[in-house]
Chain A
Amino acid sequence: MPKKLLIVVVEPDPDRAQPIADGLLAAGDHDIRIIAEQSGLARQVADLRPDVVLIDIANPSRDILEELALASEPSERPVAMFVDRTDEQLTRSAIEAGISAYVVDGLRPERIKPILDAAIARFHMFQRMRTELAATRAALEERKIIDRAKAVLMKARGIDEEAAYALLRKTAMDQGKRLPDIAQQLVMAAGLLCR
């Protein structure tokens, strides 16, 4: 039975860190530590001497880990290198998922792969959630602005809501523009005229 691997997840947002930790535990019996505090990151990682460090690709603190990975003395090198250097495909999949992994020297590929696969799956999930959230927010914003544009038209022209909406749609189609864009312009113009 090989010894448990110590995996460090650097992630300031607990709502992201926990699902990653859960995913890694489901993939194997590992020892997981989460580092949320970015200051003194190098020292924290050096003290833990983990087998694997996982961090978001866009986390600025990555460049600090990079330095640890390149320390000239092997004894000063708590995290040795990047994803197993022989496996270009795995490196690429991890990058595309938005994850960077630093793995201690000499860890066997068959022990790294399940960990990476689990992390990659979680990161893809975050990406989907982020995209969905952004889309939902945008949709909400657009609905608000259309409602305001309808109100402007109803007041200015004394028409009902249905007619106001029809007028907005027709204008958008005639101009070859998106409905929310026409609504935005109308609300802005109305704001300028009233003040």
Chain B
Amino acid sequence: MPINRLRLGYLPLIDAAPLIVAHEMGFAAEEGLDLDLIRLSAWAQSRDMLGAGMIDAAHMLVPMPIGQALGLGPRLPAFDLVMFLSQGGQAVVVNTRIEENLREIGHGFDFADARAAGLALRRAVPGGLRVGVPFHFSTQYELISHWLTACGFTPDQLDLITVPPPMMARAMAAGEVDAFCVGEPWCSFAVERGIAALLLPGRAIWAAPPEKGLVLRRDLTEARPDETGALMRAMWRAGQWLDQPEHRGTAAEILSRGEYLDLPSELAERGLTGRMLISSSGELRRAPGFIAFNNGAASFPWKSIAALIASRIAERRGLEPLAAMQMAMGHFRTDLYRKHLRPAGAPLPGASSRIEGALAEDRVVPAEKGQMILRADSFFDGFTFEPPNPDSSAD
């Protein structure tokens, strides 16, 4: 089999695991691919380098290609998200002053109940709250604004500030943010420095928050379909490997090496195993399924999720919502997912769009072949979202 070299951009986070594992554990080589993994330092850098063809594919925040699709970024060739790479993996972190206030009013830091944590936070922080998020278009932005608005914060009491993940702890120490929401290991990193406590996992707000996606330029998916498919299969198999609990410790070791995260493996292991130290006094909380890569159809890029995120962005920016949803849905390539992952044996749902937030528990549903398990995806406040019909016209 000829070896094809692909350049992949990623940011140092535990959810870059599928790329790193595909490379290190040979899933890419099995597909005839040689991956050149390029560590980047900013999300905008990833977007720009992908647009200019300096990388072939990127580990990217799921809402980023939607922002591009809505014309809210620089003028670059069209991007497509071909699969999700991870679900969850984020946590909400507060500084130690807020932690003390929360404890004083009796909050128990159960690291599970989003409503209780949100209402306690509302009482503990009488004024406004500055929350760091990794990017303007990020799952974290959506989680924080949904959760805190539902818990009684008004939009003018919330200031969502962009801070790159590795700089979160520093921004908190410098008093630039009171709280933040970012992917691991950067939450545990702040706890380790004694400046923060973990309040909630992202999954407590939305049970199946899509976090990173595999994003390629549309012209590459068209011109090089074989390599696109090979890359998707390598990522999918890496996700399958990662979702076997006995592999998570090994994954933490690999990810933590100098060329990847360059941090003690004990930090990456917390998020990967869901055993979280929530405060510097060493309190342990178990968060089963803190991050998922493959189980429960985690990698299927539902068009309804594109619509949900597009509707939120459209609302904030005064765009026409239906047109925005239609535009975004066209960039979540469930067609490529079906075509390229069917041969790998990925379970394929009957529809590509669904009501988001409707599953309170994991559910067995009919699949293209046999049955499959869909993971629970409810919001803590019972919110549901019905997407527009994918075939209805934008006007």
- Using a CB–CB cutoff of 8 Å, the interface residues on chain A facing chain B are 39-40, 42, 57-64, 66-67, 70, 72, 81-83, 85-88, 91-92, 95-96, 100
Contact = CB atoms under 8 A, between A and B. Distances in A.
B161 to A, nearest CB: 7
Interface residues of chain B: helix, strand, loop or mixed (majority): loop
B54 interface: yes
A60 B162 contact: no
A72 B74 contact: no
A81 B67 CA distance: 14
Contacts of A92: 51-52
A58 B176 contact: no
Interface residues of B, number: 30
Contact of B74 (A60, A61, A82): A82
B354 interface: no
A67 B161 contact: yes
Contacts of A70: 72, 136
Given A60-B41, A85-B74, A91-B75, A72 B164 contact: no
Interface stretch (B42-50, B100-108, B321-329, B382-390): B42-50
A67 B164 CA distance: 12
A44 to B, nearest CB: 13
Interface in B23-66: 40-45, 48-49, 51-52, 54
18 contacts: A57-B44, A58-B41, A59-B41, A62-B42, A62-B45, A63-B42, A63-B162, A63-B163, A66-B43, A66-B135, A66-B136, A67-B136, A72-B317, A72-B318, A82-B74, A88-B75, A95-B48, A96-B54
B45 A39 contact: no
Given A58-B40, A62-B42, A72-B318, 5 more contacts: A58-B45, A61-B164, A63-B136, A82-B75, A88-B75
Contacts of A88: 75-76
Contacts of A67: 136, 161-162
A95 B52 contact: yes
B201 interface: no
Contacts of B316: 72
A57 B49 contact: yes
A59 B164 CA distance: 10
A100 B43 CA distance: 13
Contacts of A61: 42, 164
B52 A96 contact: yes
A34 B104 CA distance: 46
Contacts of B167: 60
B18 interface: no
B374 to A, nearest CB: 33
Which has the most chain A C-beta neighbours within 10 Å: B76, B134, B166?
A: B76
A60 B166 CA distance: 9
Given A59-B41, A83-B74, A91-B75, A64 B318 contact: no
A83 B162 CA distance: 21
B54 A100 contact: no
Contact of B43 (A63, A83, A85, A95): A63
Contacts of A42: 161
A128 B176 CA distance: 37
A62 B136 CA distance: 12
A82 B176 contact: no
A59 B42 contact: yes
Contacts of A57: 42, 44-45, 48-49
B47 to A, nearest CB: 9
Given A60-B166, A64-B163, A100 B52 contact: no
Nearest to A67: B162
